[in-house]
Chain A
Amino acid sequence: MRVARVALPTTVDEAVVALRDAPGAQLLAGGTDFCVEVNFGLRRPPAVVALRRVRELRRHAVTPETVVIGAGTTYADMGDPGLSSALPALAAAARTVGSPQVRNAGTLGGNVATASPAGDTLPLLAALDARVVLRGPSGERTASLGEVVTGVKTTSIGPDEVVVEVVVDRRPGPQQFVKVGTRNAMVIAIASAAVVVDVEAHEVRVALGSVAPVPVRATAAEVHIADAIDWRAAGGPRASEGALARFGELVAGAASPITDHRSTAEYRRLAVGVIARRALERCVARAA
């Protein structure tokens, strides 16, 4: 009889060593996806490296330029005042994840590494061009979110690598996260959108969830609306009704959704255009 190996490291370096020493070992963070797969016979880990005790993973740092969020930061943590004032759309996204119990356990690093098309934090991270810091036996590397999340539940994270933290640049201006589900709480996204307005750079960043294998940026919509917004209007940026409508259409055009048991491709495309436009309208006034 073999005895399964379980490592309960308290530092990232210990976790990396434990991963190296137990080939085939799987990383366990908040467990909110991992354990479901185990419970239903879809995952049979020969060994586990559990990250819940790694305190350094749970830190975050907000500076004037960046926000650094430890991979062990839970969805509940994302509502902490410091973090949520710097990244209100991340807090909003976190608030839509599962149940309060799940939000107490699930982590940012887990959301990235699981790489579900419906991962609720991913659209905002994509909109902010987040960098993911990974550590392995040969040291640390930084990769863009797009480089890490490569497809439906697939990533470029090495079997010996641990997600350490996610880094985003701060963007002055409003941001929003909106998510469509068939229930008013505790629901997987049918479509989601994060909108970030940078009032200094005069940029609008839009990323979409659940409408493509990976989070996608609606670049045509971004370019269109950045041009269309009157950034210097009294009372803040504003856009015309026509420009906003066009923005919604371009967002819908950026989606490449599928039909599944949760919804249809057509609805996802329709909905993502509507919610992106509404999110933008909360950030930018409508010109009379």
Chain B
Amino acid sequence: MVRSGAGVAERVTRAQRGDRVGDSPVRPDGAQKTRGEFAFSSDLWMDAMLWGKTLRSPHVAARIRSIDTGPALAMPGVRAVVTAADVPGRPTFGLELPDQPVFASDVVRYHGEPVAAVAADHPEAARAAALAIVVDYEPLVPLVDPEAAIDAAPIHPDGNVFRHLVVRHGELGASGDVVVEGNYEVGMQDQAFLGPESGLAVPAEDGGVDLYVATQWLHVDRDQVAASLGLPADRVRLHLAGVGGAFGGREDVSLQIHLCMLALRAGRPVKMVYARDESFFGHVHRHPARLWYRHHATRDGDLVKVEARIVLDGGAYLSSSNAVLSNAVCFAPGPYRVPNALIEGYAVRTNNPPCGAMRGFGAVQVCFGHEAQMDKLAAALSVDPVELRLRNALERYDRLVTGQVLTGAVPVREVIRAAASHPLPVPQDPAGTMMALPGGAGATADPVHVRRGVGFAASMKNIAYSEGFDDFATARLRLEAGADGEPIATLTVATAEVGQGFVTLAQQIVREELGVGRVVLAPASTAEIGSAGSSSASRQTWMSGGACQLACATLRSELIVRAAELWECAAAQCLFDDGEVVRVETGERLLVRDLLVPAPLETTEEYHHRPTRALDADGQGDAHVSFMFAAHRAVVDVDPELGLLRVVQISTGQDVGRAINPVQVTGQIEGGVAQGIGLALMEEIVVSEGRVRNPSFTDYLLPTTLDMPDVVATVVEELEPDAPYGAKGVGEPPAISSGPAVLAAVRDATGLPVTRAPVRPQDIAYAWRGGA
């Protein structure tokens, strides 16, 4: 059991640390990061560098009559101005389909859409020049209601419905003895990574460009940049600069194409760093969702049917809306056995901010619905909510509503039991500090005003990409003797280290497989190695980890061959044992260092997960590779009169397959829980009539140390058959059911329905006053 609390300090700081799979060695970049020496994408600098700045639309929807860049070009220090007219190649980009203009040319479709970009000697000169560009807009009436968008006149040549997906499963006419129904709503969450979008583009002598940038997926960025620059892919080289968090928000292109255009136009390096307000406009957000659910069950509490309608507001451009919708529909019932289902989902285009990937990717939104429904059903049946979940929990070889049979580890009951079994926190201390009460520093509550509630939620999500996408990962491993003769393993992957700790895992895997202590990670770059796929969908431990493991296996075989040649025996008579090759018959041993004397060894391997299939017209198909499960119990203190809250404890059980680095797993769990709590209680991009009202950390609130409770976690290790080391991903599940558990606790404390995330103080206070 990994437990967060006072006891762990001893384990973490005193235990002898190993450095292999299952141990918790420290991050290789950790010390640099604590010293401020780690170079993030906003820390880059070059001689004669210019500063880039984007001009963005102040309108939600508008026709552009004209753009005059002359006044900007005339300003001192301005070296380049680019607009849609200057895009040399494909005028659009996009993750799934290129439907988003690099710069708006004739029409603006969302508040903050890029219209032009400037490079100048100083950020202030660039800002002033961007403001000097004269754009003549004709404002249009924006389309901001996602329901209305389905039938409204198209606001884009590709139409307003990105995807309409229906899952028909079992007997659609089935009904249950007990039926519960509800409507739920989820607001627009932001990834709010702390390191703003930033990068440095450097024009190259071959007419191409080198871009140092923070991203989640170098190669897919590279392909989009090259297409829009009209350059062959090998002349656009993307290099990973230090990434200050991602959480899905760096999966889409933001400033990449703009920066490269400016650098090529100016013939000088250009750096661009979004300020926080621009960051809110510069990346996609989590889809806001409207959910309707009807659950049918027998009197005994067996689920009979789930009906649902899901509408995701994708905003102005597609991004990854289609895949997000697929997940939302697929996981709409939650981690439960559902024999019959009719689930309809829409992802639509509006003039709201574009939405796309964020940690949990479609599973987060529906979890607020399916878990509220499970509680409602438990209440209707007068059974314990945890018991109801255990009764209906998915098991191995059960079918999802998409017809896919679960062939991997499905420890749903185990994670539910774990989350339910940790000791509850001590009751509130009547003499305790105000900081421990809802309202915190504001001293709004005395203990008498506070009620405590306990809520429960469970969730599931897939690992890796789905519906037929082959998101393979590549790794190159070179094994050579160092100056002292000892072996050095150099691993080259394009895997984006975004903070998740893949760099640590990669070293652990090589050490585990080859017994080589010195493992060096080469810089990640499209110029050096093939794609690793995205650092998203909880997939890199499996995918890039798998590629590393494959590369090690190949080199191990080659080491055995070399040993067999030396011993003049068959390779089959040799084994690899912890950094040595052993000749089975004789017990003779050769060290890796000895086997590297003739020449270094090197291999490049691609790892592919098993193929998946697109969902068919009835939403059926083996769309996913594997699944992760988690459960959360939240204890929340509520001041219902004011609608203020404080989460006291989160208890969780999480299915991880295997914890390759238990300390990092704990960090992922605690960090994901914080984002779940944030969505439940305070995080929302407030959009009115398409306009973003709170693009700042003053008004987009992230949980602070005083908002985060202790997290008590049990990691359930049931090895996943297909996965390297049996390890599933760990990043997303903590962010999925933690928020719904918090809202369930608020319902428990207040008896109020609480159907919206985030729940706002007024939502509780009005209802409380109305009911009191």
Do A and B contact each other directly (Cβ–Cβ < 8 Å)? yes
Q: Which A residues contact B (CB, under 8 angstroms)?
A: 39-41, 92, 95-96, 176-190, 192, 260-264, 266-267, 270-271, 274-275, 278, 282
Residues of chain A within 8 A of B435, CB atoms compared: 184-185
Residues of chain A within 8 A of B446, CB atoms compared: 278, 282
**From DSSP, what is the main secondary structure of chain B's interface residues?**
loop
Q: Which residue of A lies closest to B646 (CB)?
A: A184
* B760: interface (CB < 8 Å): yes
Residues of chain A within 8 A of B107, CB atoms compared: none
Residues of chain B within 8 A of A40, CB atoms compared: 275, 277
A-B contacts, 15 listed (Cβ < 8 Å): A41-B127, A96-B443, A177-B443, A178-B444, A182-B701, A183-B682, A184-B646, A185-B440, A186-B704, A187-B442, A188-B698, A190-B761, A261-B693, A262-B694, A270-B762
Contact A180 B644 (CB under 8 A): yes
Q: Which residue of A lies closest to B436 (CB)?
A: A184
Of B444, B642, B688, most buried by chain A (CB within 10 Å of CB) is B444
Residues of chain B within 8 A of A270, CB atoms compared: 762, 765-766, 769
Residues of chain A within 8 A of B762, CB atoms compared: 263-264, 266-267, 270
Residues of chain A within 8 A of B682, CB atoms compared: 182-183
Query: Could you tell me the distance between the alpha carbons of A177 and B444 in the complex, rounded to whole angstroms?
Result: 9
* B449: interface (CB < 8 Å): yes
Pick the residue among A41, A178, A192, A271 that contacts B761 (CB under 8 A). Answer: A271
* B438: interface (CB < 8 Å): yes
Residues of chain B within 8 A of A184, CB atoms compared: 435, 438-442, 646, 704, 706-707
Contact B275 A188 (CB under 8 A): no
Assuming A261-B699, A271-B765, is B442 touching A181 (CB within 8 A)? yes
Contact B441 A267 (CB under 8 A): no
- Closest beta carbon of chain B to A31's beta carbon, Å: 15
Contact A179 B444 (CB under 8 A): yes
Residues of chain A within 8 A of B706, CB atoms compared: 184-185
Q: Which B residues contact A (CB, under 8 angstroms)?
A: 127, 131, 275, 277, 435, 438-446, 449, 641-644, 646, 681-682, 686, 688, 693-694, 698-699, 701, 703-707, 760-762, 765-766, 769
Query: Could you tell me the distance between the alpha carbons of A189 and B699 in the complex, rounded to whole angstroms?
Result: 11
Query: Could you tell me the distance between the alpha carbons of A95 and B706 in the complex, rounded to whole angstroms?
Result: 13
Residues of chain B within 8 A of A266, CB atoms compared: 762, 766
Pick the residue among A180, A183, A262 that contacts B704 (CB under 8 A). Answer: A183
Of A40, A176, A184, A270, most buried by chain B (CB within 10 Å of CB) is A184
Residues of chain B within 8 A of A278, CB atoms compared: 444-446, 449
Residues of chain A within 8 A of B438, CB atoms compared: 184
Assuming A180-B761, A183-B707, A184-B441, is B699 touching A262 (CB within 8 A)? yes
Of A96, A189, A263, A278, most buried by chain B (CB within 10 Å of CB) is A278
Q: Which 4 A-B pairs have the closest CB atoms?
A: A184-B440, A267-B762, A261-B693, A179-B442
Contact A267 B693 (CB under 8 A): no
Query: Could you tell me the distance between the alpha carbons of A187 and B440 in the complex, rounded to whole angstroms?
Result: 10
Contact B441 A95 (CB under 8 A): yes
Query: Could you tell me the distance between the alpha carbons of A265 and B760 in the complex, rounded to whole angstroms?
Result: 14
Assuming A188-B699, A262-B699, A271-B642, is B761 touching A182 (CB within 8 A)? yes
Query: Could you tell me the distance between the alpha carbons of A181 and B439 in the complex, rounded to whole angstroms?
Result: 7
Q: Which residue of A lies closest to B682 (CB)?
A: A182
Contact A182 B760 (CB under 8 A): yes
Query: Could you tell me the distance between the alpha carbons of A176 and B443 in the complex, rounded to whole angstroms?
Result: 9
Residues of chain B within 8 A of A275, CB atoms compared: 444, 642
Q: A186-B704, A267-B762 are in contact. List 4 more A-B contacts (CB 8 A).
A: A95-B441, A177-B443, A185-B435, A188-B699
Residues of chain B within 8 A of A185, CB atoms compared: 435, 440-441, 704-707
- Closest beta carbon of chain A to B462's beta carbon, Å: 33
Residues of chain B within 8 A of A180, CB atoms compared: 439, 442, 444, 642, 644, 761
Query: Could you tell me the distance between the alpha carbons of A125 and B666 in the complex, rounded to whole angstroms?
Result: 47
Query: Could you tell me the distance between the alpha carbons of A205 and B291 in the complex, rounded to whole angstroms?
Result: 48
Q: Which residue of A lies closest to B687 (CB)?
A: A261
Contact B443 A178 (CB under 8 A): yes
Residues of chain A within 8 A of B440, CB atoms compared: 183-185
Query: Could you tell me the distance between the alpha carbons of A187 and B760 in the complex, rounded to whole angstroms?
Result: 14
Residues of chain A within 8 A of B699, CB atoms compared: 188, 261-262
Residues of chain B within 8 A of A181, CB atoms compared: 439, 442
- Closest beta carbon of chain A to B551's beta carbon, Å: 46
